[in-house]
Amino acid sequence: MSIRLPSLAALTSFEASARLLSFRRAADELNLTPSAISHQIKGLEDDLGVRLFLRTGKGLQLSEAGATYFPSVRDALERLAEATRDLRRREGWGTLTISLLPTFASRWLIPRLMTFQQMHPGLDLRLSTTVELADFRTDDVDAAIRWGLGTWDGVDSLPLMEEVLVPVCAPEVGRRLRSPRDLAHETLLHNRYYPDAWRMWLVTAGVEGVDPDQGQAFDDGEMVRTAAVSGLGVGMGQHPVINADVAAGNLVIPFDLSLSGGGGYYLVWPPEKAADPNLILFRDWLVREVAEDSLRQSRRRRPRQKGIMNRR
């Protein structure tokens, strides 16, 4: 084309600002600062030789030239985005399949996926939930999130988070628990996958007079979580899958004493996928989410109960 076009960055800043009528909101959407947006708009106005926005008592408004220009810019950017998505789909660029445990998917990953989709709208992320380990030679998956010790042969792995066990209960039950000795009057909820968890916790806490075997046993952590939310008793919850319930107030952690679950969650992939750009995008986003979740948990941690230390 013989005509010199404005930069794509400037047009993107203009489209977001015109649609939202706010440099600040446009900056939030584009992960820029308001001053950067303002600088882009100033450069675009200088390039075009017209004013695109007017500042009035009601806030930011489009000028007559800006209102005329906006629909064409919006349409051009939408068509460019759609053409890019179509090309990536045809080339297989936009598909990434992850195998993971159902509980981890529903309780931790899926509630966070909106941010990933907003950052990478052209990438089609597919989740395959199963309790079986993915076989990268035969299963149609690109990577997996596994629980274990990170000692699998023939794969690359990245540690994400340690599994930590903590007592959890409904808020109304938690209000009855002034000290760990009060557990003698509550129903203990047991996960058969961790049969000695309550015994180990009580020994570590130095608590006597509480029967570690009393209560009800369930087949998995999800059933323990459901029973605890229902107020049936006090269960041994698993970080990170209880984090959302704690944040929402469905569960409380009555005592600041935790135990290691003996393993952790890892992102795992075959070596030939190491340079896959889709996997790199997902891995980097996942690492950021884990770090932010850890920071949120540290801010939310309640004061320690007297005589109870946070040991693992």
- Please state, in angstroms and rounded to a whole number, the distance separating the CA atoms of residues 241 and 106: 9
Whether 3 is covered by a domain: the verdict is no
Q: 258 and 310 in contact (C-beta within 8 Å)?
A: yes
Q: Render each residue's pLDDT in the chain as its tens digit; 312 residues.
A: 567 889 999 999 999 999 999 999 999 888 889 999 999 999 999 999 999 999 888 789 999 999 999 999 999 999 988 887 677 666 555 789 999 988 889 889 998 999 998 888 878 899 998 888 888 888 889 999 999 888 898 999 999 999 889 999 999 999 999 999 999 999 999 998 889 999 999 999 999 999 999 999 998 888 999 999 999 999 999 888 898 899 889 999 999 898 887 889 999 999 999 988 899 999 999 999 998 887 776 665 544 433 333 433
Regarding whether 17 and 69 lie in a shared domain, the answer is yes
Whether 308 is covered by a domain: the verdict is no
Whether 309 is covered by a domain: the verdict is no
Whether 149 is covered by a domain: the verdict is yes
- pLDDT at residue 296, rounded to an integer: 74
Regarding whether 143 and 272 lie in a shared domain, the answer is yes
CATH code of 271's domain: 3.40.190.10
- Please state, in angstroms and rounded to a whole number, the distance separating the CA atoms of residues 99 and 105: 9
- Please state, in angstroms and rounded to a whole number, the distance separating the CA atoms of residues 153 and 117: 32
Whether 120 is covered by a domain: the verdict is yes
Regarding whether 173 and 156 lie in a shared domain, the answer is no
Return the residue matching tokens 């950052």.
119
Range of the domain at 269: 95-160+264-296
Regarding whether 252 and 113 lie in a shared domain, the answer is no
**Total tally of structural domains belonging to the chain:** 3
* Phi-psi sector, 209: left (phi>0), alpha (psi -120 to 50), beta: left
Q: How far apart are the first and last CA of the chain?
A: 65
From the list 297, 261, 293, 298, the residue with the least C-alpha distance to 162 is: 261
Secondary structure (DSSP) of 46-76: HHHTS--EEEETTEEEE-HHHHHHHHHHHHH
Whether 145 is covered by a domain: the verdict is yes
Rg (CA), the chain: 26
Regarding whether 247 and 108 lie in a shared domain, the answer is no
CATH code of 78's domain: 1.10.10.10
Whether 301 is covered by a domain: the verdict is no
Regarding whether 269 and 256 lie in a shared domain, the answer is no
Whether 304 is covered by a domain: the verdict is no
Return the residue matching tokens 């007079």.
209
- pLDDT at residue 231, rounded to an integer: 96
- pLDDT at residue 312, rounded to an integer: 37
Phi, psi torsion values for 9, nearest 5 degrees: -65, -40
Regarding whether 102 and 63 lie in a shared domain, the answer is no
